[in-house]
Amino acid sequence: MSTTLTADRAEVAELFARLADLLDARRPDDARTVYHDDIVVHSPRGGELRGLAEVTGFLKSALTGEELTQHVHGDVLVHLDGDRATAAANQLVYFYRDGEPPHRTGGLRVACGAARTPEGWRFTEMRITPAWTREH
């Protein structure tokens, strides 16, 4: 039982890293690898987004020009309840142009719900709350 709980916690925590990877690599079509079909995302930039298609569409529209991002997650907490979980993490986001230092940095708190699916754990809900922003 303990091995299963540890593996589930690790898989839910890994969703944050996989999300950062697809955002930073600009692969919005891979959103299905971290988000449930019925995902609900609450964010200051996108408002309330419902469903995988809407979230993927928003991610595609957010790819602007030459601005790149680097997402770093830490302090990940995962609480399991069978096939459901809640998780939270602190996130730093660096906005930059290739070969240049960041021109903007932001600190966020990300709180999520997750569910076990046949494909593995997926985020079912996400609430993104800004803590601070710094223009460089």
Residue at token pair 């309840």: 81
Which pLDDT score is estimated for 2?
A: 75
Which pLDDT score is estimated for 104?
A: 97
Q: How far apart are CA 114 and CA 95, in angstroms?
A: 27
- Beta-carbon count within 10 A of 35 CB: 27
Output the CA–CA distances (angstroms, integers) from residue 65 to 26, 60, 61, 97, 103, in the order listed.
Answer: 12, 12, 11, 9, 14
Which pLDDT score is estimated for 51?
A: 98
- Rounded average pLDDT over 88-109: 97
CB 73 within 8 A of CB 85: no
**Per-residue pLDDT tens digits for 10-50:** 999 999 999 999 999 999 999 999 999 999 999 998 999 99
Which pLDDT score is estimated for 3?
A: 84
- Is residue 1 pLDDT above 70, yes or no? no
Output the CA–CA distances (angstroms, integers) from residue 77 to 13, 74, 105, 110, 132, in the order listed.
Answer: 8, 9, 23, 11, 21
**Per-residue pLDDT tens digits for 55-71:** 999 999 999 788 999 99
Closest CA to 61 of 106, 16, 28: 28
